């Protein structure tokens, strides 16, 4: 029993054809434009382009930009830590500010480790792993002090610098896919009769 509509996908209607593949309305111009977007500098970069299905958390450009801004801000904070070394709460009695900072580091580090676990692709997973390593080294520096764990501050800055670099790569991959999707000609729904 039919009620005026078919149950097949929109693109498959055997009685009426929407798209007529003629020379002027073929798929070849779309693929040529895609090839130009992927290799605009003359170098084949098809293996370097990140597929959006490779992201489980940073799925769109807005999320990637927010993550990148956070990484840049925390890189500035970590760089400022070179000027003011921490004594650590094990070497002196902990103040309320140090205990709050430890609680923040614990929460941030646990969330970042969780994000490493739910990330899909290697690029996204390494981004969150760099951020989590930086947060854990900041936690160790706050607990034990800069004198007890000297590489912690350097590791923190190095990991955040790496995260910023990968974050820029992720934002660029989202931007590149958006530009290529916007410039691709889309066949019209109306059939040329």
d(CA 113, CA 117): 6
- Predicted confidence at residue 176, as pLDDT, reads 75
Highest mean pLDDT, choosing among 40-49, 55-64, 75-84, 86-95? 55-64
Contact between 145 and 87 (Cβ < 8 Å): yes
Average pLDDT over residues 40-47: 50
- Predicted confidence at residue 20, as pLDDT, reads 47
User: Residue ranges of the domains in the chain?
Assistant: 53-178
- pLDDT tens-place string over residues 134-189: 999 999 988 888 778 888 889 999 999 999 999 999 999 888 766 666 655 555 55
Report the 3 state secondary structure along 126-177.
Answer: HHHHHHHHHHHHHHHHHHHCCCCCCHHHHHHHHHHHHHHHHHHHHHHHHHHH
CA angle 129, 49, 158 (to 5 degrees): 30
- Predicted confidence at residue 174, as pLDDT, reads 87
- Predicted confidence at residue 183, as pLDDT, reads 56
What Cα–Cα distance (Å) separates residue 62 from each residue in 2, 67, 151, 166, 178? 44, 9, 34, 15, 12
- pLDDT tens-place string over residues 62-77: 999 999 999 999 999 9
Torsion of CA 125, 128, 134, 135, to 10 degrees: -130
Contact between 135 and 164 (Cβ < 8 Å): no
Average pLDDT, the chain: 76
Contact between 180 and 30 (Cβ < 8 Å): no
């Amino acid at each position: 029993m039919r009620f005026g509509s078919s149950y097949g996908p929109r693109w498959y209607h055997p009685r009426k054809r929407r798209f007529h593949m003629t020379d002027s309305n073929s798929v070849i111009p779309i693929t040529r434009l895609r090839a130009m977007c992927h290799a605009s500098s003359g170098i084949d970069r098809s293996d370097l382009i990140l597929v959006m299905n490779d992201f489980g958390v940073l799925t769109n450009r807005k999320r990637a930009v927010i993550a990148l801004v956070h990484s840049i801000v925390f890189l500035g904070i970590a760089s400022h830590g070179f000027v003011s070394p921490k004594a650590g709460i094990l070497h002196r009695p902990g103040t309320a500010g140090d205990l709050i900072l430890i609680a923040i580091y614990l929460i941030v580090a646990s969330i970042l480790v969780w994000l490493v676990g739910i990330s899909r692709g290697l690029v996204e997973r390494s981004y969150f792993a760099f951020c989590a390593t930086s947060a854990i080294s900041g936690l160790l520096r706050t607990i034990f002090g800069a004198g007890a764990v000297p590489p912690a501050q350097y590791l923190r800055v190095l990991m955040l610098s790496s995260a910023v670099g990968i974050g820029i790569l992720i934002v660029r991959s989202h931007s590149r896919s958006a530009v290529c999707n916007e410039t691709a000609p889309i066949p019209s729904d109306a059939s040329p009769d």
